[in-house]
Amino acid sequence: FAGKVLLILIIVGLEIRFPRQSVVEISEALLGKVGGALVSFLILWSFLHIASLEVRIYTEMIITGFLTETPIVFLTAMMVLTESLLPMLGSRSLDVLRIYFFLCFWE
């Protein structure tokens, strides 16, 4: 608990000291160009690692519970494709979902 509180205090303190700057800009300001790039890479890598683990766990749950005959590669690809396309399309997300589900369940 104390470690989490300390981390939150550090993040809030950095946000107060560097308003309107991203994590990349803050790390470059504190650690220089190379150190900031290294910290930014570690943050990006950890985010991608955690996201890939979450996708894998969710895919395994769906295959175990519902779609037992579906290949894991196909289901993972469809999930990642959907999750990466919908935020880029913005308000048209429901239109894309209708087309996507229509194509997936076409007999």
Compute mean pLDDT per 10 residues along the chain, 107 residues long, and list them. 85 87 88 91 91 89 85 87 75 63 62
pTM of this prediction? Answer: 0.64
- Three-state secondary structure string covering the chain: CHHHHHHHHHHHHHHHHCCCCCHHHHHHHHHHHHHHHHHHHHHHHHHHHHHHHHHHHHHHHHHHHCCCCCCHHHHHHHHHHHHHHHHHHHHHHHHHHHHHHHHHCCC
